[in-house]
């Protein structure tokens, strides 16, 4: 597998925008006065924060596109050394075959279910992600959704916007004293558990990869999935999408839950 040569630092280059079919926007960025192959070529296929692009431009030739079809993206990868995506772009075997120089696919986020990892591995292409990038944001989002459900915030908002003022219909339920069931207590699940303590919730969790010590450090007690389903007032999902987790919460699982329980899904899904 060919590796791009390390390069000296160069001034941050300018970007030239190009309009492509179907409304896609592309830009090509190259350091001034530097020959094409003196820098590794990085193709960014989904929107990325400008701060990240600035860092890449210090050592790479950066090309960016958004909104490309699989065929259009594949046609641009013949000389690319690295490909960066978020969740929108699917990195298929066809994409990988179109990039003979490709050394690494970077996922700007946690899940890699939009990347054909076995196909990349078979071609000697590394797949990396950013598992720490949005842990707190995801945990806060999970609790925001929980509060929205239990306190009936969206229902009350719609009622007020309709000119009504029926407060008694939207009393809701407190989190204090409720049992939170975490399906998955990895990085995000652990952050949810720590924040749930501030609401005085009891936290239980099911995760075949977690240890009693790690769960306890996050303020949770490990239980079997059936016990979690039957006991929890609020169930929050924080699992990767795999063959073992696909359809994990199915009709049979729902039937075991309390009739008053609610589910928040911040996991990968289809």
Full domain range(s) for residue 157: 135-265
Tally of domains in the chain: 2
Residue 154 lies in a domain: yes
Global model pTM greater than 0.85: no
Q: 146 and 258 share a domain?
A: yes
* Domain edge (last residue) among 128, 152, 183: 128
Residue 7 lies in a domain: no
Give me the residues of the chain with pLDDT under 70, please: 1-37, 269-270
CA–centroid distance for 83 within its chain: 17
Q: Over 173-206, what HEC string results?
A: CCCCCCEEEEECCCHHHHHHHHHHHCCCCEEEEE
Extended beta strands in the chain, E state: 15-19, 25-29, 41-44, 61-66, 82-85, 104-107, 126-128, 179-183, 202-206, 221-222, 234-237, 262-265
Q: 93 and 191 share a domain?
A: no
Q: 32 and 110 share a domain?
A: yes
CA–CA distance, 62 with 56 (Å, rounded to integer): 7
CATH code assigned at 79:
3.40.50.720
| Residue entry with tokens 């791009």 | 4
- pLDDT digits 0-9 by tens, 30-74: 444 444 568 999 999 999 999 999 999 999 999 999 889 999 999
Q: 257 and 140 share a domain?
A: yes
> Can you give the pLDDT at residue 37?
60
Q: 166 and 225 share a domain?
A: yes
Extended beta strands in 67-218, E state: 82-85, 104-107, 126-128, 179-183, 202-206
């Amino acid at each position: 597998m060919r590796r791009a040569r390390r390069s000296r630092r160069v001034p941050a280059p300018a970007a030239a925008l190009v309009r492509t079919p179907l409304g896609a926007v592309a830009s090509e960025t190259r350091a001034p006065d530097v020959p094409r192959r003196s820098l590794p070529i990085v193709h960014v296929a989904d929107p990325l924060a400008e701060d990240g692009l600035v860092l890449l431009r210090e050592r790479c030739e950066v090309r960016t596109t958004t909104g490309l079809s699989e065929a259009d993206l594949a046609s641009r990868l013949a000389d690319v050394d690295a490909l960066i995506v978020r969740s929108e772009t699917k990195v298929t075997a066809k994409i990988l075959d179109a990039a003979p120089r490709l050394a690494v696919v970077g996922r700007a986020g946690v899940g890699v279910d939009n990347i054909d990892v076995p196909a990349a591995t078979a071609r000697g292409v590394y797949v990396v992600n950013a598992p720490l990038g949005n842990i707190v944001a995801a945990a806060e989002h999970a609790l925001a959704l929980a509060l929205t459900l239990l306190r009936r915030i969206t229902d009350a908002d719609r009622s007020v916007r309709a000119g009504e003022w029926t407060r008694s219909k939207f009393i809701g339920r407190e989190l204090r004293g409720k049992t939170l069931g975490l399906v998955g207590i990895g990085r995000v699940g652990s952050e949810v558990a720590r924040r749930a303590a501030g609401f005085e919730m009891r936290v239980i969790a099911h995760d075949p990869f977690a240890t009693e010590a790690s769960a306890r450090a996050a303020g949770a007690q490990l239980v079997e999935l059936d016990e979690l389903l039957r006991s929890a007032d609020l169930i929050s999902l924080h699992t990767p999408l795999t063959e073992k987790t696909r359809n994990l919460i199915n009709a049979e699982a729902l039937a075991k839950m309390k009739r008053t329980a609610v589910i928040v899904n911040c996991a990968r899904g289809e």
